[in-house]
Amino acid sequence: MPEHRSGSGTTRRSHLAAAGSLLAALALLLALPGAAGAADVPQRGTARLGQGVIAHDGQQGGGPTGPAAVQTEGVDVSGHQGNVAWQTLWNSGVKWAYVKATEGTYYKNTYFTQQYNGSYNVGMIRGTYHFATPDTTSGAAQANYFVDNGGGWSRDGRTLPGVLDIEWNPYGAQCYGKTQAAMVSWIRDFANTYKARTGRDPVIYTATSWWKDCTGNNASFGATNPLWVARYNTTVGELPAGWGFYTMWQYTSSGPTVGDHNHFNGALDRVQALANG
């Protein structure tokens, strides 16, 4: 009998240990999605135009179909592309380009010189863009950082006005933790500071769905700021409130040579007109 009781106790302890192991395994499985989500957050500085478009708006082909007004092909690049084959792009019909200059007040594109000067040297009209992070510093601080690090403008006929890239936050909350009113104020702070520094209203790059969610579809920028809209589809679709037409349309992230391709809403002389202000 003593031996039997001892065996029964051992068996009971084994069952308890097994149950504990099972609970621990379940806890680990429940924790894994959160851990994977944290691991999926990209490194600061790596964000680029349209990074969230496919994930949030999808991608259904690219480029308009059927009769359309004249469109002038362009590309946008960042450090993600590294050294760009500008001559190849020029030979393919690309006539204008935007190059990422800065992000927040903490990042400058390490490939900026090759990309900005390289596009110019093959004959393109080019400009620069800033990836906004409204949760890190003020709109004015980021506009000044942008202008001081490649985001300026000159009336040389080959330099496009700077772009504010305001879209999904790749590092956290979609609207950067801001209310719609606070987001509109942040954008206005950036735009006013950029114009005070350069004499030009910045182009606003965004996607309609993001603009609706994070600004409440604010209509107050359409009269002053050219629109660069992101929509990876065969038609541009609905525009954000306040804009009756787009100036540029990023229609795909899977184009030849460089992924991000765009249409300028007009012939080359319209691109030149935007450069000249």
Q: CA dihedral defined by 20, 21, 22, 28, rounded to 10 degrees?
A: 110
* Stretch among 14-23, 101-110, 164-173, 263-272 having the lowest mean pLDDT: 14-23
> Which of the 8 DSSP states describes residue 80?
G
To the query of whether residue 76 is one of the catalytic residues in this protein, the response is yes
Are 12 and 60 within one domain? no
Are 168 and 109 within one domain? yes
26 or 41: whose pLDDT is higher?
41
Distance (Å, whole) CA 78 – CA 109: 7
> Is there a domain that residue 46 lies in?
no
Q: Is the pLDDT of residue 20 over 70?
A: no
* pLDDT band for position 31 (cuts 50, 70, 90): very low
Distance (Å, whole) CA 75 – CA 97: 5
Catalytic entry in 76, 103, 201, 260: 76
* pLDDT band for position 39 (cuts 50, 70, 90): low
Catalytic entry in 40, 148, 156, 167: 167
pLDDT score, position 7: 47
pLDDT score, position 192: 98
> Is there a domain that residue 3 lies in?
yes
> Is there a domain that residue 48 lies in?
no
To the query of whether residue 156 is one of the catalytic residues in this protein, the response is no
pLDDT score, position 42: 73
Q: Is the pLDDT of residue 153 over 50?
A: yes
To the query of whether residue 167 is one of the catalytic residues in this protein, the response is yes
Distance (Å, whole) CA 273 – CA 132: 26
Number of domains making up the chain: 2
Are 29 and 115 within one domain? no
Residue 64: CB atoms within 10 A of its CB come to 15
pLDDT score, position 36: 36
Are the C-beta atoms of 216 and 228 separated by less than 8 Å?
no
Catalytic entry in 103, 165, 201, 260: 165
Are 250 and 144 within one domain? yes
Are 79 and 120 within one domain? yes
190-210: average pLDDT: 98
Residue 12: CB atoms within 10 A of its CB come to 10
Are 73 and 32 within one domain? no
Are 23 and 99 within one domain? no
> Is there a domain that residue 250 lies in?
yes
Q: Which residue range is the domain that position 3 belongs to?
A: 1-40
> Is there a domain that residue 163 lies in?
yes
Are 28 and 120 within one domain? no
35 or 250: whose pLDDT is higher?
250
Collapsed DSSP state (helix, strand, coil) of residue 130 = strand
Whichever domain contains 249, its CATH number is 3.20.20.80
The per-residue pLDDT of the chain, averaged, comes to 86
Q: What is the pTM of this model?
A: 0.79
pLDDT score, position 46: 64
